[in-house]
Amino acid sequence: MFDIEASLDSRLLAVPRNRPTVVFPEALDARTLEAACYLGRFIRPVFLAPEAEVRALAARELAHLGADRVAYTLSESAFVDPASRPDLIESFAAACLEWCQVHERPMCIEEARSLVSESGRFGIWAVKLGHADMVVGGAIHEPKAFFRPMVDLLAQRSVACEAGVFVLPDEHPEEVYPHNIVVFGDVGVNASMTPRTLAEVAVGTCAVARDLIPEDVLPEIRCAMVSYSNRGSDEGPSPELVRQAADLVPEILAERVKHAQRYASIQIRGEVKVSVALSRRSASLYQTEGQPWEGVPNVIVCPNLDMGNLLYHLYATRFPGARKFPVMFGLWFQGVDLPMDCTPEDIRLAVKASVMRLHHYGQWQRTPKDTFFRRHRVLVLNPGSTSTKTSIFEGDEERFTEEIQHPAEALKAFEGKPITEQFAFRKEAVLRFLAEKGLALGDLDAVAGRGGLLRPIPHGTWNVADAMLDDLKAGRRGEHASNLGALIASELVAGTGKPAYIVDPVVVDEADPKVKITGVKELPRRVISHALNQIATARRYAEEHETFYERINVIVAHMGGGITVGAHRKGRYIDVNNGLDGEGPFSPQRSGSLPPGQLIDLCFSGKYSKAELKLLNKGRGGLVDLLGTADFREVERRVEAGEPEATLVYDALAYQVAKAITAMVPAFDGEPIDAILLTGGMARSARLVEDLRRLTAGLGCGVKVYPGENEMAALAKGALRVLSGREVARDYPPA
């Protein structure tokens, strides 16, 4: 049995992370709420009911889902009681009156207010006017209260149809439908039937099938247009009408193929009796009648509403294990109509299918208005040694980004001076970036800067204020370009009333005292790491599993110019090697942990100065010293070419990273580990990832890969969590 949900999930996860806003008017129906609890990765849910009532329903009915899943979904959702939004009621009522005038359906303002206050129509108008992208209903609403208004208001073309998609279980005879997949198209949505309407319905239903079923599963979409009788359109299309529709199909289908070549695999045949379309005899009959394709149809366009409903419910009853869901065509994916006997699985499949098609067509970018989910605008700054990465985020979406390069001749003036001397120079570069994008400081909701070398602090988003600025200006913990992040952020928001933040700087330290003990009293371990990407990666894993950072146990290996391997236990970053000083595995540029006795001898050998040894530890160590390159891709090429020295060094690096990962097991005090997460630039190496999977398999947990550093998004999300009220910003210094 084809796993259509897994197919939809993999395709949805491949699209950009921007999620459409989906309204659920039937928020107090337990089936709808349960389905929504499996959709948080793909949509932003809006429940049209008071939050307290939705939470009470979840507590009563959804205990079987687990507290994490429900809590995560509700934390990502908006709750709107239509009665509490008179502003929207007035807006919707005015639009309703205007629509009624155009369509010659007289109505007074009081009647319009009453109508749009009902949850079903409130949700439809929210989509119609751009406050949301999709509305899902019909499970408890009668058709005249949801389906008909939805089609009337949201139809984007003259013809609409509803397709019922079935993936039948293995016990169904496969020779009836290829791979036991069948799609029923229903002509009954349309008030009148013409040859063009029927042809549009047939092509539209096939387009739904082609969009949802990959070509490696169904190479061809074969459609049979069923004729009903010669008594005319009262009961369904006559054979003559079907023949006329079939003549129009090539023209309509050709337009589809222009949009996307995948539709070239669609073949449509008209004037087929229903007894043939639904039987095992169809294959031999089509061949003997000289039809243009061999085999049997996998799309059936039903002659009327009654037969469409009959077939849908017949198959649903006969095969309760079937995966089934409805899909609307002609509404630009803005509406989902549910049968009243639907299950939570039906609902989530229907929503996933519509969201996938919304993305698939490439026209949707984001919700037009941010009524239900505020898109805060955040400026993100990440100063590096020779550049300042700068981005503008609107909500989760990165709208503009640039790595502002600072020429060597410009930086030469600051050589030998504290990093803070570059403050004004870099701030001006950021202001030019904003001006080029047509933005002023007043257009921002917050600025998030990369945190610098501060006192050890817990993870989280931190307010930039005087105590932090004093420490950074004094450089008490060291000089680094990242110290400029908070300084520039603070200056940009000065006088605007807007907040400035830093997020998870390199000095995040939540390790127990025992972690820092060494055998030399004067040399306790310091905790400095890629905390921003470490924690952001762990949060991303939690989001993908619809839970929270505070409820997972993961080991994260950041593998870049430096390598840090950290233990994250239930929302605390409890152990990690000091990547700044070279502790842990050797990396492209860092020596890693060294034999102490031999290191002491080397230090006093007279062969190197202190500065040279510092550089060998960080900058000229690791792959640079061993193989003469910091480019891991070059190392892989040399391994592929069979170079023994490169192979040995590569194997040693993989071994040391795996060893560091497995060494984190005691940090979890016997608790199970959910996953190993690989991130950083070297996580793009398929060879290294596969070797680390093999070397750490003994831990018994999976390995998930998140290549790159994703620092800009991590900074933005830290600010957004505070702006949206999901996190409280901390004050520096910590108590």
Distance CA 163, CA 187 (A): 9
**DSSP letters spanning 155-203:** --SS--EEEEEEE--TTS-TTTSGGGEEEEEEGGGSSS--HHHHHHHHH
Confidence band for 290, pLDDT divided at 50, 70 and 90: very low
Identity of the residue numbered 411? L
Q: Identify the pLDDT of residue 228.
A: 61
pLDDT given at position 365:
87
Domain CATH number, residue 455: 3.30.420.40
CA–CA dist 675, 554 (Å, integer): 5
> What residues have CB less than 8 Å from 375, skipping those under 6 apart?
366, 394, 395, 397
Strands 299-302 and 181-186, by their bridges, are parallel
Q: State what percent of residues in the chain have pLDDT above 90.
A: 70
More confident residue, 256 or 649: 649
Q: What percent of the chain has pLDDT over 70?
A: 93
Strand order of the sheet with strand 553-559?
Answer: 572-576, 563-569, 553-559, 675-680, 702-707
Q: By mean pLDDT, which of 49-63, 571-585, 674-688 is the weakest?
A: 571-585
CA distance 590 to 620: 7
User: Does the pLDDT at position 720 exceed 90?
Assistant: yes
Query: Would you state the pLDDT for residue 274?
Result: 59
User: Does the pLDDT at position 319 exceed 90?
Assistant: no
Q: Does a structural domain hold residue 554? A: yes
Q: Do 179 and 147 belong to one domain?
A: no
pLDDT at 512 over 50: yes
- Determine the Cα–Cα distance for residues 501 and 345; give it in Å rounded to an integer: 42
Last residue of a domain, one of 123, 154, 185: 154
| Phi and psi torsions of 195, nearest 5° | -55, -40
User: Cβ contacts of residue 526 below 8 Å, gap of 6+?
Assistant: 516, 578, 581
Asked which of 56-65, 224-233, 278-287, 409-418 is least confident by mean pLDDT, the reply is 278-287
Helix (H) or strand (E) holding 559: strand 553-559
Domain that holds residue 23: 19-154
Residue predicted with more confidence, 511 or 155: 511
Secondary structure class of 475 (helix, strand, coil) = coil
- In 3D space, the residue among 460, 459, 458, 457 whose CA is nearest the CA of residue 472 turns out to be 457
Q: Is the separation of the CB atoms in 433 and 390 below 8 Å?
A: yes
- pLDDT category at 480 given cuts 50, 70, 90 is confident
Flag whether pLDDT at 179 surpasses 60: yes
Do 573 and 622 belong together in one domain? Answer: yes
- Confidence band of 479 (pLDDT split at 50, 70, 90): confident
Measured CA to CA in angstroms, residue 432 lies from 404, 428, 435, 441, 576 at distances of: 10, 6, 5, 12, 38
Residue 714 lies in a domain: no
Give the mean pLDDT of 144-165.
87
pLDDT higher at 240 or 514: 514
Kindly state whether residue 618 falls inside one of the protein's structural domains. Answer: yes
Judge whether 380 lies within some domain: yes
Q: Is there a single domain that holds both residue 540 and residue 565?
A: yes
Asked if the model's pLDDT at residue 706 lies above 70, the reply is yes
pLDDT of 282 above 90? no
Q: How many CB atoms lie within 10 A of CB 662?
A: 15
- The three-state secondary structure class of 687 is helix
Q: What's the CA gap between 641 and 617, in Å, rounded?
A: 29
Query: DSSP string spanning 60-97?
Result: HH-GGG-HHHHHHHHHT-EE--GGG-HHHHHHHHHHHH
Over residues 27-53, the pLDDT tens digits come to 999 999 999 999 999 999 999 999 999
What CA–CA distance (Å, rounded) separates 450 from 219? Answer: 50
Query: How would residue 460 be classed by pLDDT, with cut points 50, 70 and 90?
Result: very high
Over 60: is that where the pLDDT of 291 sits? no
For residues 134 and 334, the answer to whether their CB atoms sit within 8 Å is yes
Residue 347 lies in a domain: no
Within-domain flag for 727: no
CB 571 within 8 A of CB 550: yes
Alpha-carbon distance values, 230 to 46, 303, 306 (Å): 48, 12, 17
User: Within 13 A of 702's CA, how many CA atoms are on the CB side?
Assistant: 4
- The pLDDT of 332-343, averaged and rounded, is 93
278 and 405 fall within a common domain:
no
Cβ–Cβ contacts within 10 Å for residue 195, how many?
Answer: 19
Question: What number is the average pLDDT over the span 575-583?
Answer: 90
144, 151 contact by CB (below 8 A)? no
What's residue 279's pLDDT? 58
| 170 and 43 part of one domain | no
Rounded average pLDDT over 609-632: 93
Task: Clarify whether residues 550 and 570 are in a common domain.
Answer: yes
Least confident of 157-171, 657-671, 713-727: 157-171
* Position 288 confidence tier, pLDDT thresholds 50, 70, 90: very low
Indicate the number of domains in the chain: 4
Name the band, by pLDDT with cuts 50, 70 and 90, for residue 710.
confident
| Structural tokens at position 416 | 């030998």
Same domain for 262 and 182? yes
Q: Which one has a higher pLDDT value, 380 or 387?
A: 380
CB 536 within 8 A of CB 566: no
- Write down the pLDDT at residue 241: 83
Determine, yes or no, domain membership for 82. Answer: yes
Please determine, for residue 639, whether its predicted confidence score (pLDDT) is greater than 70: yes
Both tokens of 318, joined, read 């006969």
Residues 48 and 132 in one domain: yes
Q: What pLDDT, on the 0 to 100 scale, is given for residue 233? A: 44
DSSP 205-273: HHHHHHHHS-TTT-S-EEEEEE---SS-TTTS--HHHHHHHHHHHHHHHHHHHHH-GGGGGEEEEEEE-
Both tokens assigned to 41:
């990765």
Domain containing 44 — which CATH number? 3.40.50.10950
Mark whether 606 and 501 lie in a shared domain.
Answer: no
pLDDT in tens, 211-234: 999 999 999 998 888 776 544 444
Q: Are residues 618 and 682 in the same domain?
A: yes
Q: Are 402 and 449 contained in the same domain?
A: yes
Q: What is the pLDDT of residue 289?
A: 47
- Residue 287: per-residue pLDDT: 46
What integer pLDDT is reported at residue 232 of this predicted model?
A: 45
pLDDT at 286 over 50: no
Q: How far is the C-alpha of 117 from the C-alpha of 182, rounded, in Å? A: 38
Instruction: Flag whether 524 is in a domain.
Output: no
CB 650 within 8 A of CB 528: no
Identify whether residues 572 and 664 lie together within a single domain.
yes
